[in-house]
A = this chain, B = another copy of it.
Amino acid sequence: MASNEILYILLPDFASHEMVYLMEAISSDEQQLKPNPKYINKIVAPTMEPVTAIGGFRVLPDYSFETMPHDFAALVLIGGYGWLTPIADMVAPIVREALDKGITVGAICNGASFMAKCGFLNNVRHTGNGSDQLKLWGGENYINPDGYIHQQAVSDGKIVTANGSATLEFAKELLLLLDNDTPERIEMYYQFNKQGFCVLFSE
Q: Which of B19, B41, B57, B166 contacts A43 (CB 8 A)?
A: B57
Chain B residues lying within 8 Å of A43, measured Cβ to Cβ, are 57-58
CB distance from A188 to the nearest CB of B (A): 12
Q: Are the CB atoms of A163 and B58 closer together than 8 Å?
A: no
Chain A window 127-166, contacts with chain B (Cβ cutoff 8 Å), 1 for yes, 0 for no? 1011100000000000000000011100000000001111
Q: Is the CB of B203 within 8 A of A131?
A: yes
A16-B20 contact, Cβ under 8 Å, with A165-B197, A193-B165, A198-B163? yes
Contact (Cβ within 8 A) A203 B24:
no
A59 CA to B20 CA, complexed, in Å: 13
Cβ of A55 within 8 Å of any chain B Cβ, yes or no, is yes
Please determine whether A20 and B23 come into contact, CB atoms closer than 8 angstroms: no
By the criterion CB–CB under 8 Å, are B202 and A150 in contact? yes
How long is the Cα–Cα vector from A100 to B131 in the complex, in angstroms?
Answer: 52
Question: Which of chain B's residues have a CB closer than 8 A to the CB of A16?
Answer: 16, 20, 23-24
A163 & B196 in contact (Cβ 8 Å cutoff): yes
Determine the interface band of chain A, counting residues with CB < 8 A from chain B: 35 or more
Q: Of A24, A60, A198, A202, which is in contact with the most chain B CB atoms at under 10 Å from its CB?
A: A198
A156 to B166, CA, bound (A): 30
The chain B residue sitting closest to A13, CB to CB, is: B31
Any B CB within 8 A of the CB of A54: yes
Given contacts A26-B55, A42-B56, A166-B197, 9 further A-B contacts (CB under 8 A): A26-B56, A41-B55, A43-B58, A127-B198, A130-B197, A165-B192, A165-B193, A165-B196, A165-B197
Q: List 15 A-B contacts (CB under 8 A).
A: A15-B24, A17-B24, A20-B55, A23-B57, A27-B55, A41-B56, A41-B57, A57-B59, A59-B59, A60-B60, A127-B198, A130-B203, A150-B203, A152-B199, A169-B196
